[in-house]
Structure 1
């Protein structure tokens, strides 16, 4: 009996020990969970940096010729000849194309015959009038017929000239619409001529909220998908006096430097530089909550209002409300509260320049 009691006592002791260990482990696990639930959140922190701040207005636009002339027939007709194509350099008066003028030339032949007859009759009536064998009415009628035939002949000759498309000045063809055999209506452009001597420009649209800061002469930085990684320089040349009331924007033209390789028709992105300040105080734009930032002081988060300058996608300029040595939360949690305890994790990302 004593042996059985001893074994029973040992089992009871082992059970109690195992139960105690289980509760200890359970308590440890609950403590870890409570720590994660109740412990201050870990936040990524950083410090302001110094660098150049650029305040710019962003816009998109297209490269176009500074002076573009459309060349279109003043009389409709079928295109029968092309002597120039896109990219061709042309000189003043050079023939670029010709429309079918066969009907007009036939009419001209008929009218020239009438003109010769009218001229001869006018001369005969003059002679008869001088000899007293023709009246003044006959003289006036002969003169009127002659003048009418001459005017009609000249009008047809001018129409024939219109059937030949010529370059109005020196330049290069940037676009050609129409093929031989096409019927070209009156005033429908066949050629687009970019005049020589003027570099291309960019026409952009700027929102009415930003246009007040844009001035003629301001520098602009231009990028295009056709030239990845390259930035071209330009400056504001013109601002339209009247905006679009529906789109609520204004056209702004950017002059390009001579030799800029951007091609007419390319789509561009333009940053018009309103101001540039060196040695500005910068913070990551992700740290901003509107016009405020979360500072870390004595292990607690404090919301600080700021006065901001240039704002970019990566970095923003702080004018008032922040010092160089301050510590801020780089990516503040949405549920953060003023005065809440936080645990700081150093921020290894360098600060840069607003873009």
Structure 2
């Protein structure tokens, strides 16, 4: 009985091992897709900021305390309108002192002239008095010109897009106090990687994705490309014109895809089906073969097929590097992208 029991256990064990071996030896299941017809587009991705075409930053060129601000954010202003005033007390005191010196210099010159006419003093004394008056006059002119720096005015007609700073704060040279510009037209300024910039040319369309308008199809057109790139960031600045009816606002950020090439009604395969230019095709006997495909436009989701496969081909999707040429597989239809 013990022998029969061991024999039965051995038979069950052998059957189990055989079953596992048969299961593991079954051909693997792969998903396949067929080439399909559609539109192919090659795009260049970039991030961009909305700005007016015509605008300017208004800054102070001196370090001084702010004594008044126009409070005109969002309002229209004309070129030359005063926007802010800086504390000019010391500068005006200096001007008053120079003007007092001017009065004295004029008096000295007049007295020197009279004495020269009476031949009491030499020509040199008169020339010295005249020179002093000229010097003081020049200093007064320079000081009056310097006083203009204490009054900050609009450099152009436009709308005050933004106002910074407060009365009582010290304005530092270069600090932006006002952004002024024309609300229309608007443009996008994008930073494009130097590897992609050769594909971008004037007139190309760009698709815009903005968080503020997730369900809107927004467009822009490439208008110009900066000739010199940034060697540190390795990108180039690209300007894109926005239509007049764009809902985008100044200062908004957006993601853009510049369409650099486009083909309609062409044969496509999903990008994930490729390993470089190669795809894995399934023959009628369900064996794997490696095909090299002549491709065209390579988009973010699909690749244009020019030659190498036909519409009836069964292509492994996604590409499976574990499969070998000649290997037998079982197939099931993959989800068409």
- Aligned mates of 2:161, 2:293 — CA distance in 1: 51
- Aligned mates of 1:149, 1:173 — CA distance in 2: 40
Q: 1:105-157, CA deviations, whole angstroms, 9 ceiling, x for partnerless residues?
A: 22222222222333344455556656766653344333223222222222222
* 8 Å CA contact 2:52, 2:182 repeated in 1: no
Quick check: 1:258 aligned with 2:244?
A: yes
* 8 Å CA contact 1:79, 1:99 repeated in 2: yes
Post-superposition offset of 1:233: 1.3
Quick check: 1:112 aligned with 2:99?
A: yes
Higher radius of gyration, 1 or 2? 1
Question: Residue 219 of structure 2: SS of its match in structure 1?
Answer: strand
Q: Structure 1-normalised TM-score?
A: 0.83
1:307-322 equivalences in 2 (<5 Å): 307-322=294-309
Quick check: 1:94 aligned with 2:77?
A: no
* 8 Å CA contact 1:218, 1:235 repeated in 2: yes
Unpaired segments of 5 or more residues in structure 2?
A: none
| Number of equivalenced pairs | 335
What is aligned with 2:190? Answer: 204
What is aligned with 1:339? Answer: 326
**RMSD between superposed Cα atoms in Å:** 3.0
Q: Which of residues 266, 275, 278 is equivalent to 1:280?
A: 266
- Aligned mates of 2:317, 2:76 — CA distance in 1: 57
* 8 Å CA contact 1:70, 1:189 repeated in 2: no
- Aligned mates of 1:121, 1:254 — CA distance in 2: 66
What is aligned with 2:234? Answer: 248
Q: 1:260-304, CA deviations, whole angstroms, 9 ceiling, x for partnerless residues?
A: 232333332121111110011111222222221111112111111
Question: Residue 277 of structure 1: SS of its match in structure 2?
Answer: strand
Q: Which of residues 122, 130, 146 is equivalent to 1:159?
A: 146
- Aligned mates of 1:112, 1:191 — CA distance in 2: 32
Q: 1:281-331, CA deviations, whole angstroms, 9 ceiling, x for partnerless residues?
A: 111222222221111112111111112222233322222212111111123
Unpaired segments of 5 or more residues in structure 1?
A: 1-11
Q: Structure 2-normalised TM-score?
A: 0.87
Post-superposition offset of 1:97: 0.8
